[in-house]
Amino acid sequence: MPDSTITIPADLRRDLAIESVRSTIVDVPTVRRHKLSQTSVTAQSYVIVELRLANGAVGIGEAATLGGPRWSEESVEAMKANIDTYLAPALIGLAADRFEAAGARMDAAAKRNNAAKAAIETALFDAVGKTLGIPAALLLGGMVRDSVPVLWTLASGDPDQEIEEAERKLAARLHDTFKVKIGAQAPEADLARLRRLAAALEGRARLIVDANQAWDETTAARCLPQLAELGIALVEQPVPAWNIGAMARLRARPGTPPLLADECVFDAHDMLAVAQAAAADAVSLKLVKHGGLLGLKKVAAVAEAAGIGLYGGCLLESSIGAAAHLQVFSTFRELAWGCEHFGPQILVDDLVEEPLRFADFQVHLPSRPGIGVTLDQARLRRYARP
């Protein structure tokens, strides 16, 4: 039989060796308060990773969180500490294109820490893509699309402000689907707010809602049919992440709108459990949950096998994190629910030289090598935490 081994020249292998990994915490103000059921933020915090290869190529990655360790167990402070102390040392000297080997080394060095690992893996794909002069998407199977429908999140809690905000986005042809954050108020207040939004935007926009685990099963059983009557297209994580049984029971009830799994799916094993329980109609895909681009693809593959729709989720990433997501999303044959990577637009300032392009209700994939964006060093210094 002919030898099918691909041999990479020794000099290129040496050029791809990881020489250093630098992490920086940044805090970027947002244009308005972003309110979830369990917290609210007026500045978004990230860990920016710069990974240098022996050939001089520098790959960048980003890890995001919301208001500290409230959405998951990771905070930016913990991410940086674990990157600097455990994850980066495990990778020094490894060839950057050994993506699975890098993942295995990081898993051996630290349990979970998915966001921190995702930032490093993004930087690996970016550095290798830059070295080869190709988009990271080509290392992930190749592009099916060069743009993705993108929604905007309404999260101030003030329906007058939210209607005005939605009207501006519609008029500018930026967004015609809106996700409404609920759960911070009593269910009756949220329902009244949603009625106003639905009436104001009827026939011109699609609404979905995200309860961020705020309801118990009884409350969800009472409210979900009312959301369906309002025409809500999708309901994200109405009950706590541990209660997959409740998700399945709610989904089986007549009058329940489609359910989106988020915090209950961090890895492919979680996705399999949700699929086996018939607990969701769609899954929210996020690098910070799945440990990187490869982990995200593995979760998506389980969902696709189970007939569960794909939704591109976000944690208010800048153009760095959003671009990394788009590289993966562009490789999916089906992305039924589009994505929500509006994060760059909610920041007062982005962290890259050329921000992502939003037009005609789509976010467009950058065409440059790697993840397609270039870190702006002046802005990195401006927003870096002392």
- Catalytic residue positions, numbered: 181, 340
Strand segments, DSSP code E, in 72-176 are 147-149, 152-154
Say how far apart CA 41 and CA 58 lie, in whole Å: 31
- Residue 248: CB atoms within 10 A of its CB come to 16
Residue 29 has φ and ψ, to the nearest 5°, of -60, 150
Query: CB–CB of 166/201 below 8 Å?
Result: yes
Query: CB–CB of 96/53 below 8 Å?
Result: yes
Say how far apart CA 240 and CA 308 lie, in whole Å: 20
Tokens of 217: 């099963």
Residue carrying structure tokens 């993108």: 150
Which of these, 74, 66, 73, lies nearest to 41 by C-alpha position? 66
Say how far apart CA 342 and CA 251 lie, in whole Å: 28
Say how far apart CA 136 and CA 140 lie, in whole Å: 7
Answer left, alpha or beta for residue 324, where phi above 0 means left and psi between -120 and 50 means alpha. alpha
Amino acid 343 reads: G
**Residue 104 host element (H or E):** helix 99-109
376 burial level (CB within 10 Å; 0-12, 13-18, 19+)? middle
